[in-house]
Structure 1
């Protein structure tokens, strides 16, 4: 069973404080998730992120199949990073680090996701066919949505 990694960086022309306020508010996850994912938060988005926070939502990632997903915010360092880990959901393992740092003219936002798929060999076979393209599309959408919301670095 393989451990996969998705790594993305994006620069935005906003302040570190503005970037942090946006990414540390769980309600904004629905803003940067494609409508096709059927993303809906059921609980846990009532306050800004904190270690130990449990967020429960539904997603419809493939073929209209609605899935429950529960993540825990395991680490938060104000104005620097937070980590969410799946506790229940579609992956065998999901560990997502979100970093922000000030750069000249704005901020750099970085995502590093480590994940494993369920179903052993079959999951690994499905990775390049279904899972990787879907994750790539989600993060491409996020990239475009953040530019739409905050502008593009010059």
Structure 2
């Protein structure tokens, strides 16, 4: 199993960071490069506790579907999304929001396990951890830009920073 933690400082209140992080539309906007689209479950707006979304995307030139659900929900401090079905043997992503003066420290903790046993573990070490970290940094940069520009949690699907 592989994992990593990232911390991003955003000059916005935790409640706004929390809300935008749960936005399906924000996720779609931030992951435009990989063509991620919500195709089932909650497909627009904010996803909530116990709800699920199925994503269709292309990574490494391969199309895949992943269904994840919100399995823990403590606004505006923390939520967890976990894969129900998809390309990983396991995917767990905790989002934590800590008030920090006038802003928020957004902390992402991610644990995942690739399929294919020993070959998957090699792929995790050689490729997947760095790739996943870049995706989360890209997403967090998008969220920070959105919130710090004063445009708040509302999202237009075609909006790009």
Return the TM-score normalized by structure 1: 0.87
Q: Which residue of 2 aligns with 1:55?
A: 53
| TM-fit CA distance, 1:60 | 0.7
| TM-fit CA distance, 1:53 | 0.4
Alignment of 1:113-152 (within 5 A): 113-151=110-148
Q: Which moved more, 1:125-134 or 1:85-94?
A: 125-134
Deviation digits for residues 53-89 of structure 1 (CA, Å, limit 9, x no counterpart): 0101101111x21101100111111111111100111
Q: Which residue of 2 aligns with 1:88?
A: 85
Q: Which moved more, 1:15-24 or 1:85-94?
A: 15-24
Deviation digits for residues 18-49 of structure 1 (CA, Å, limit 9, x no counterpart): 2122112222111222x332201112134533
> Matches of 1:104 and 1:116 in 2, distance apart?
36
| TM-fit CA distance, 1:133 | 2.5
2:102 to 102, 105, 110: 105
* Number of aligned residues: 148
Unaligned ranges ≥5, structure 1: none
Unaligned ranges ≥5, structure 2: 150-161
Q: Does the CA-based 8 Å contact 1:55-1:71 persist in structure 2?
A: yes
Q: Does the CA-based 8 Å contact 1:25-1:45 persist in structure 2?
A: no
Q: Which residue of 2 aligns with 1:22?
A: 20
SS in 2 for 1:31: helix
Q: Which residue of 1 aligns with 2:4?
A: 6
Return the TM-score normalized by structure 2: 0.83
